[in-house]
Amino acid sequence: MKDNRPNLTTAEGAPISAQQALTAGPRGPLLMQDVQLLEQMQHFNRERIPERVVHAKGSGAYGTFTVTHDVTQYTKAAFLSEIGKKTETFMRFSTVAGERGAADAERDVRGFAIKFYTEEGNWDMVGNNTPVFFVRDPYKFQMFIHTQKRDPKTNLRCMDMQWDFWSLCPESLHQVTILFSDRGIPQGYRFINGYGSHTYSFVNESGERVWCKFHFKSKQGIRNYMDDEAATLIGQDRESHQRDLYEAIERGENPQWRFCIQVMTQKQAEAFHWNPFDLTKVWPHAEFPLIEVGTLELNRNPENYHAEVEQSAFSPSSFVPGIGPSPDKMLQARLMSYADTHRYRVGGNYQQLPVNKPRCPVMHYQRDGAMATAESYQGRPSYWPNSREDTPQPAEQHAEPAWDLGTVIADRFDSTVDHDDFTQAGNLYRMFDDAHRDRLASRIAGVLGQARKEVQERQLCHFFRADEDYGRRIAEKLGVGVSQFAETAGTGA
């Protein structure tokens, strides 16, 4: 075939003349010196990297963030310094529990992670499409994820395992209610809101710190599937979220989100009726209204899924000056865990890959490791302090104000006592109309019914505590008598 196509080469760049195995005679055997075939086979054996333990199935796209409102009274973050300022971004959405081959249209939380390539480093906003989470103590996180994965013996998803855990951890009730609500199966990633979920901190030029929550509101609106629609769709298309996002961007229908924050002063935090750093709680809008910041638009599909989406790496520890953590215990644990998993999954120098690489100079004394590029270090020395010219040094102007922790006792505090796990779940339930309440109850009964009787009864107590009607509907669908729950109904305790 004669055409203008380029010459096929080995990975070393040497031209290849044929694509048939080199053999001793037409019937074989193979010759060891067929280095082209060896290279191809050996590279193939190394095509996969470990899949993420959670959020394994995902989709990604590049985009632009534009500041629309002035928030400099709250933060000195350079990329938020001026109305109209634009910052390049990369974003990855995901489902949480399913493996890489899982169907998209499943009932699950959705991951919502954005990398802002700012002039002062990457800020990663690593959130979900829900404003809260199932647990508040990081000791429970790995255990919770185990319950969402497969039973170690049967290799099946196990409703008894899930509900056993949830019923023993009532702090999960708020998120469980969201998960089984009509928002549990989005129509696609364009149709979800994103939340930072944790409380973070903002620091302004004067060194004043406020606590804040992040919200990304879909301009496409919220669209969800009912269970039967999703079941039919999964039978036809397991990649519905990936297809929807990719094709929308190819058509030029660039999805957008409004970025808003909620802000709480330290004084307000001390007076707040819930722990403002509890990941199972929202800050009610009526008390802490949304403040507009800007617009995020996704406008370019990646060229290569593996290089750019699979190897993209987001970590809540990627802060920039003006944005920082809060005492939230779950966030504190994630600050270590995410970067650590990327070092295992992608490699010690994952930040040098193009999708993860900051778009500003990176100047540090970390060195070497697998796949390090000279571009990152050049000829600079590898130690500090040094007396060499033009070497990077810390700059005091970036110091964050000290945290006043008062007189504190370090201990393993029980995160299950003195907490109201029921009021906010009940508030959400009471927002739903009658038909929504009934769908929610049917979905929960459908899966809770697969758990042992004692698990059902323990969990029913929690629904009754959140709202009498919530508990009664599910109990009736399960065929469980309601009189035993009379004492707890609606008590919120």
**Which positions are annotated as active-site residues?**
55, 128
The span from the CA of 19 to the CA of 32, in Å, is: 16
Nearest distance in Å: CB 443, ligand NDP: 12
The least CB distance from residue 112 to ligand NDP, in Å, is: 13
> Per CB under 6 A, which of residues 165..194 are in contact with ligand NDP?
178, 181-183, 193
DSSP string, 255-278: -EEEEEEEEE-HHHHHH-SS-TT-
Task: Give the H/E segment covering residue 145.
Answer: helix 141-148
Q: Does 131 bind ligand NDP (CB under 6 A)?
A: yes
Does 273 bind ligand NDP (CB under 6 A)? Our answer is no
With the CA atoms of 333, 281, 175 and 154 taken in that order, what torsion angle do they form, in degrees rounded to the nearest 10?
A: 30
| CB of 340 closer than 8 Å to CB of 123 | no
In this chain, which of 145, 427, 477, 490 binds ligand NDP, going by CB under 6 A? 427
Q: Please report whether residue 291 would count as binding ligand NDP according to CB under 6 A.
A: no
Kindly state whether residue 260 participates in binding ligand NDP, applying the rule CB under 6 A.
no
Q: Shortest approach of ligand NDP to residue 104 CB, angstroms?
A: 19
Residue in 56, 125, 320, 428 binding ligand NDP, rule: CB under 6 A: 428
Min CB(286)–ligand NDP separation in Å: 6
- Asked if 424 is part of the footprint of ligand NDP (rule: CB under 6 A), the reply reads yes
By beta-carbon proximity to ligand NDP, the closer residue of 258 and 380 is: 258
CB of residue 125 to ligand NDP, shortest distance in Å:
15
Q: CB-based contacts of 165: which residues, under 8 Å, 6+ apart?
A: 143, 144, 147, 172
CA distances from 416 to 135, 140, 334, 413, 477 (A): 10, 11, 20, 9, 29
* Cβ nearer to ligand NDP, comparing 260 with 346: 260
**Measuring CA to CA, how many Å separate 493 from each of 162, 181, 440, 465?**
22, 23, 22, 6
Residues 218-237 touching ligand NDP, rule: CB under 6 A, are 222
For residues 490 and 468, is the Cβ–Cβ distance under 8 A?
yes
**492 part of the interface to ligand NDP, by CB under 6 A:** no
Cβ neighbours, 10 Å, residue 88: 15
Helix (H) or strand (E) holding 296, with range, is: strand 291-300
Query: Least separation, in Å, of the C-beta of 365 and ligand NDP?
Result: 41
Size of the site for ligand NDP (CB under 6 A): 16
* Cβ distance to ligand NDP smaller for residue 76 or 183: 183
> Which one of residues 40, 72, 284, 442 is an interface residue with ligand NDP (CB under 6 A)?
284
292 makes contact with ligand NDP (CB under 6 A): no
176 neighbors 421 (Cβ within 8 angstroms): no
Tell whether residue 295 is a contact of ligand NDP (CB under 6 A).
no
Cis bond before residue 50 (omega within 30° of 0)? no
In the complex with ligand NDP, the residue whose CB is nearer, 162 or 424, is 424
Rounded to a whole number of angstroms, the minimum distance from the CB of residue 428 to ligand NDP is 3
Cβ count near 294 (within 10 Å): 21
Task: Give CA–CA dist 145/447, Å, rounded.
Answer: 17
Cβ atoms of residues 36 and 16 within 8 Å: yes
Residue with tokens 């103590």: 137
What's the angle, vertex CA 129, arms to CA 128 and CA 132, rounded to 5? 70
- Residue placing its CB nearer to ligand NDP in the complex, 158 or 192: 192
Is 240 a binding residue for ligand NDP by CB under 6 A? The answer is: no
User: Where do contacts with ligand NDP occur on this chain (CB under 6 A)?
Assistant: 131, 178, 181-183, 193, 222, 282-286, 424, 427-428, 431
